[in-house]
Copies of this chain bind each other. A is one copy, B any other.
Amino acid sequence: MTFEETTGSTLTPEAQVALDRATDSAHRHHDLLSDRAFHIKQSAVRDVFDISIQPGLISLAGGSPYLQSLPLDELADVSADIIRNHGLAALQYGPGQGLQELRELACEVMAAEGILDADPADIIITTGSQSAQDVAAKVFCNPGDVVLCEDPTYVGALNAFEAYEVDLQPVPMDSDGLVPAALEERIHSLRAAGKRIKFLYTIPSFNNPSGITLSAERRDAVVRICRENNILVLEDNPYGMLRFDGEPLVPLRANHPEDVLYLGSFSKIFAPGLRLGWALVPKHLFRRFYLACEAVVLCPSPLTQMITAAYLRDFDWMGRVEASRTFYAERCTAMLRALGEHMPDGVTWTVPDGGFFIWVSLPDGIDTYPLLTEAIDAGVVFIPGAAFTPGDAPSAQLRLAFSAVSPDEIAEGIRRLTPVIRRAVEGRAS
């Protein structure tokens, strides 16, 4: 199956938007759509999800965690036991806030990263942290309100926020993450322009898609700047434990319980198919956030919560996280090595200390979106950089994920990608 067959389109994102509007307006129900419906974009990551699983293709696109090290037989037994012996609770409606036991276990997970004061009463179990991002925009943002974010940042969060017609304002990063002076300057210029800034969305450790980590030195500064300007910090930390070596950096939330709304995820330390994450909410915001969560999903699944709780309670989950660090580090090294061997001059990339992603920069003026079709023809998939920044401007960047592919496949994938990149670089130079 080709990219065109899968997505049904060879259109650029701009052309797709134009087509959607034309299609919508052909029907009398066009008038029924909300303004925000036109702000909800196709996710480039999801675009390529289906083709990523085609045989023969090497996917460096999706940030899927490596699950082969899960103890599937034991998890099968645990799940059977839950349904057999606790099925009437597991299969029934549950509390809207999530199960007490899982909220307590989430506190243990956070303690392992340096958040020592989390109270299970302040936690809401969410349907993945995607759902918590949606609720954050819902609870805090009127149309036109500003959300600050890293440039680049997670495409799913951008899509969730844009559905609320927010004004997404990217803030520059360098190799140490968000630049405090740039953050401060952006806040002041937005304020001067009369904008209302609601929160900073940040993935401080191993940012998706760049792999960049906010340095320890800058962490307090970023929160302090936000606090001084009465801006909430929405800290998304799915990868924090997946540091290749050394101790994880302390999350922003650790020293700033009042100013940081913290999002955790079981997807990377356990498994994404259970669709569970959590929000640790400052007490003064808890009730609003909780009610909005309940209005969206009523309650998270008791069954998947009980399976997750059993995994965290009865298995050596931390041992597996530690093993996976080594494992992801090897894959990252394999990708860095292949990039170093094959990429032409003028192409640069980040060197992450953890997480799932490397961010590749081609020379200015190259748009990586049209390269995706060529790459798929060559047997490899990536995500074009434009997905990870607000707006529809072309991007000379692309995201490569090393998390779900073996070192050999990574080497082969980069080898396949090289001529596509080389042609683009040479075409620009000529």
B271 touches A92 (CB 8 A): yes
A91 touches which one: B20, B230, B271, B295 (CB < 8 A)?
B271
Please state if B295 and A159 are interface contacts (CB–CB under 8 Å): yes
Q: Which residues of B contact A322 (CB under 8 A)?
A: none
- Identify A295's interface contact among B94, B163, B232, CB under 8 A: B163
Query: Is residue A127 within 8 Å, beta carbon to beta carbon, of the partner chain?
Result: yes
A293 — nearest CB in chain B belongs to which residue? B40
Chain B neighbourhood of A162, CB < 8 A: 295
Q: Does A198 reach chain B (CB closer than 8 Å)?
A: yes
Q: Which residue of B lies closest to A77 (CB)?
A: B80
Chain B: minimal CB distance from A142 (Å): 5
Overall SS of chain A's interface: helix
- Pick from B34, B50, B62, B273: contact of A90, CB under 8 Å: B273
| A27–B299 alpha-carbon span in the complex (Å) | 28
CB distance from A24 to the nearest CB of B (A): 7
Complex CA gap A34/B144 in Å reads: 11
CA A93 – CA B77 in complex, angstroms? 22
What's the nearest-Cβ distance from chain B to residue A134, in Å?
Answer: 5
Chain B CB within 8 A of A33 CB: yes
Q: A67–B87 contact, CB under 8 A?
A: yes
Q: A39 → chain B, closest Cβ, in Å?
A: 10
Q: Which residues of chain B have C-beta atoms less than 8 A from A273's C-beta? A: 89-94, 301-303
> In this assembly, does A32 line the interface, its C-beta being within 8 Å of a C-beta of chain B?
yes
Q: Tell whether A122 is near chain B: CB-to-CB under 8 Å.
A: no
Determine how many copies of this chain the complex contains: 2
- Cβ-defined contact, A300 with B288, below 8 A: no
Q: Which partner residue on chain B sits nearest A164 by CB separation?
A: B34
A199 and B93 in contact, given A130-B296, A296-B131 (Cβ under 8 angstroms): no
Provide the residues of chain B in CB contact with A96, threshold 8 Å.
Answer: 43, 46, 49
Q: What B residues does A49 contact at CB under 8 A?
A: 93, 95-96
Residues of A within 8 A of B (CB): 20, 23-24, 26-29, 31-37, 40-43, 46, 49-50, 62, 64-65, 67-68, 70, 72-73, 75-77, 79-84, 87-96, 127-128, 130-131, 134, 138-142, 145, 156, 159-160, 162-163, 198-199, 230-232, 267, 271-275, 282, 284-285, 287-288, 291-292, 294-304, 307
- Could you pull out 17 A-B pairs where Cβ atoms are within 8 angstroms? A29-B232, A32-B198, A34-B138, A36-B138, A40-B295, A43-B96, A43-B295, A64-B93, A72-B84, A73-B84, A75-B87, A92-B271, A92-B273, A134-B297, A163-B295, A274-B301, A275-B298
